[in-house]
Structure 1
Amino acid sequence: MEEALGKGEGFVVKKLEPVMVPPASKTDDGFYFLSNLDCYQNLILTTIYCYKSDPKRSNSNACEVIKPALAEVLVHYYPFAGRIAENDSDGKLKIDCTGEGVPFVEAVADCELEVLGDTAKSSNFEMLGKLVHTYPRSKNILEIPLLTAQVTKFKCGGFVLGLAINHCMADGICAIEFVNSWAEITRGSPISVFPFLDRTIINSRQPLKIEFPHNEFYEIKDVPKNILPSTSKDDELIRKSFCFKEKMLTHLRTLAMEDGEVEKCSNFTVVAAHTWRVMTESLNMEADQQTKLVFAVDLRSKFDPPLPKGYFGNAIFHPCCLCNAGELTSKPLWFAVKLVQDAIKSVTEEYARSAIDNYEVKRVNPLATYTLFISSWTRLGFHDIDFGWGKPTQTTLANPGPNLCFVLPQNEENKDLNILMVMTASLMNSFSELI
């Protein structure tokens, strides 16, 4: 049994060795196609779901019911049980459906669940990281399982489910549909949304047609030195949560619309624009340096006909806003808001297919360089996942990377918005003052 110590006082997690969970019955083998939208998102994303003890049900049998349900759901989502491989011809990624399974870890924390505090606002990467089974970053991504699961029981009777998912397998909507199906099986309910497994419906076209300029693939030069972590303690990655109160959101929207250049704007649009401006100013960029905002847009409804319900894979694209730092910070807020709105409007089916073809030719990752990446998780349904112990009391990311901003969900009554920011310590100091 491995002991994992977090920085939280008294926080000790004892882990059993991982047990491989294969699909409960035979599934398809061979190779599984990944689209270009999948291939450039080959990175591990970790999330945790916290569950309090139920008066009628402790955590004593949590693993005994969650683990076999995982084997059942993998029959439908069988590519998760395989491993990443590369095409011999062009090096593109695909999934080898080996059926070897998903590592499942049982763990025990020698404390109450409340020791974690508010996980969305926690700055303790190390403590949250102990709740998810991950592999060293030095390990070849081709050797890392596509999904791992860890259930950590706490003395109070609650538990935490920690998941590590390779993003090439699923975007947020698809990941939630998978976890919800797993939870439904655990509760003994029928699956409400079955996965649509054929990703070739968004394959690149033949012949390729690149019909638009695609700034999202443009790699900005002269990236500020303090934007990436280094070995210095001042430049280690830290996370911090900021709350936009409802009154503040109303004020920002009013500010953006007061010149008449913008007729209306959503909370996401104005928060993205405002945070990008603050980030650019925090970096002390030269006026002629380029600053780039990247964000996620769901493509499901952009296609005609829309992508099938339960589409299994990445159905998001990452448009960008690109301009000079001096122009962004000197002009009123409406300028940045309009850039965000125009970028969102630009994402049509024709534009998305042109971008997919563009990646086929150039293999440039739109997430390769950016000043800020922002993604909204407010409508994904993370708070609705019920394995039989009720809905999670809280859920968050465990290990996001640098210069990421996540708009996190609140309960339905709360109109405020929380954003989780991750950046170097030195940059966070100036950002915190300006935001």
Structure 2
Amino acid sequence: MEFVNSWGEIARGLPLSIPPFLDRTILKSRNPAQIDHVHGELLDVELKFEDPKEEEDPMVYKSFPLTFEQLETLKSKSAAEKKRSTFEALSGFVWRARTQSLNFPPNQPTKLIFAVDGRAKFVPPLPTGYFGNGIVFTNSICEAGELVNQPLSRAAGLVGESVRMVDDGYMRSAIDYFEVTRARPSMAATLVITTWSRLAFDTADFGWGGPLFSAPVGLPGKEAVLFLADGEEEGRKKGVRVFLGLPASAMKTFEKLVKEV
């Protein structure tokens, strides 16, 4: 988004407010590599059931707008010993509801993966305008039975633990791990959450004003859920639109669970 917004500034004849920092070698792997963290986001999860074929249960794609008030309700339900952020509460809810909707066996491990912006977490922080990926994937793994049968605070707490474990050491270990293994995340029994709700899409301006709407060009993969900002009307606090695909039978259950929020 820094690139898009800079492009817009050039199109309007303005100087760059954030000049790009182009030296990507500051995130090169260490020599020798130091893999001193467990990177579960890249580990395989054993499937304990047979995934139905798409022709038997076709994929359905829908988006669900959750208002600011609904998000506050989820945060309240997610709080046990500790208050939870909107991301922790919503991610915990979606992970739990999706697992319940897919009717995984109770002993099926289910994995949650999401990206954490590491720009401010590196020591020292990445320079302003660093031009390239500054993210790392973190994860949480929990058996489906525990996730579904425990209160929402359990799922939100696991998300919170995943956020907090990302620090400079974890991120540099992840860089080294990938350099050595070139591993790709396993998608079996996995949910990947992508958060676009905080990206500055609404500030892009090529001379005709800001965008009316922003969204991905394609549909998310069957393992992916996308969070988009929702609610631009005057006087209305922003909510989040949850966009995902599920088999038709599972989508009915997921819709029901969302309506209960």
Asked if the contact 2:43/2:186 (under 8 Å) is kept, the reply is: no
Report what 1:202 is aligned to.
27
Matched, 1:251 2:76: no
Please give the TM-score of this superposition, normalised by the length of structure 2: 0.90
Matched, 1:338 2:172: no
**SS of match in other structure, 1:408:** strand
What's 2:178 paired with? 359
Instruction: Describe the SS at the equivalent of 1:374.
Output: strand
| Aligned partners of 1:184 and 1:387 also within 8 Å | yes
- 2:248 corresponds to which residue? 425
Deviation of the 1:367 alpha carbon: 5.7
CA drift of 1:223 comes to: 6.8
> Secondary structure of the equivalent of 1:196?
coil
What is the identity, as a one-letter code, of the residue corresponding to 1:375?
T
1:414 equivalent among 234, 237, 260: 237
Alignment of 1:394-409 (within 5 A): 394-399=213-218, 400-409=220-229
Q: Which has the higher contact order (CA 8 A, sep 6+)?
A: 2
Q: Secondary structure at the match of 1:397?
A: coil
Distance, in Å, in 2 between the alignment partners of 1:282 and 1:402 is: 13
Tell me if 1:377 matches 2:196: yes
Are the structure 2 counterparts of residues 428 and 265 from structure 1 closer, same or farther at C-alpha, using a change threshold of 3 Å? same
Partners of 2:113 and 2:140 within 8 A in 1: yes
Q: TM-score, normalised by structure 1?
A: 0.55
SS in 2 for 1:193: coil
Q: Which amino acid aligns with 2:257?
A: L
Equivalent runs, 1:3-402 vs 2, <5 Å: 176-222=1-47, 225-226=50-51, 230=54, 232=55, 234-236=57-59, 238-257=60-79, 260-261=80-81, 263-366=82-185, 368-399=187-218, 400-402=220-222
For residues 427 and 363 of structure 1, the distance between their equivalents in structure 2, rounded to whole angstroms, comes to 33
Contact 2:62 2:244 in 1 (8 A): yes
Give the conservation status (yes or no) of the 8 Å contact 1:226–1:283.
no
The 1:369–1:358 alpha-carbon spacing in structure 2 relative to 1, beyond 3 Å, is farther
Shift in Å, 1:184:
1.1
Is the CA contact 1:272–1:374 (under 8 Å) kept in the aligned structure 2? yes
| Cα pair 2:109 2:189 within 8 Å, conserved | no
The 3 A distance-change label for structure 1 pair 308 and 223 is farther
Greater Rg over alpha carbons, structure: 1
Task: Report the Cα offset of residue 292 of structure 1.
Answer: 0.7
**Partner SS for 1:211:** coil
Q: Would the alpha carbon gap of residues 194 and 343 (structure 1) be closer, same or farther in structure 2, given more than 3 Å must change? A: same
Instruction: Name the amino acid aligned to 1:218.
Output: L
- Tell me which protein shows more strand as a share of its residues: 1
Distance 1:424 1:297, change over 3 A: same
Please list every run of 5 or more consecutive structure 1 residues that lacks an aligned counterpart in the other structure.
Answer: 1-175
Q: Aligned to 1:239, what secondary structure does the other structure show?
A: strand
Q: Distance in 1 between matches of 2:191 and 2:7?
A: 33
1:78-124 CA-to-partner distances (Å, cap 9, x unmatched) read xxxxxxxxxxxxxxxxxxxxxxxxxxxxxxxxxxxxxxxxxxxxxxx
Aligned-partner Cα distance in 1 for 2:136–2:5: 23
Q: Distance in 2 between matches of 1:226 and 1:393?
A: 39
| 1:404-425 residue CA offsets vs partner (Å, 9 max, x unmatched) | 1111123384332211113343
Q: Distance in 2 between matches of 1:233 and 1:187?
A: 52
Which ranges of structure 2 fall in alignment gaps of 5 or more residues?
Answer: none
Give distance in 2, aligned partners of 1:276 and 1:204. 32
Q: Deviations over 1:217-246 (max 9, x none)?
A: 11112175558x73x27424x421112222
Separation in 1 of the partners of 2:24 and 2:189? 28
Distance in 1 (alpha carbons) for counterparts of 2:5 and 2:255: 36
**Native 8 Å contact 2:116 2:137 kept in 1:** yes
For 2:221 and 2:202, the matched residues in 1 are separated by 23
Partners of 1:256 and 1:279 in 2: how far apart? 17
Amino acid at match of 2:12: R
Moved more, 425-434 or 331-340: 425-434
Q: Distance between the aligned counterparts of 2:187 and 2:132, measured in 1?
A: 21
Identity %: 42
Aligned partner of residue 246 in structure 2, secondary structure: strand
Contact 1:401 1:422 in 2 (8 A): yes
Aligned-residue offset at 1:287:
0.9
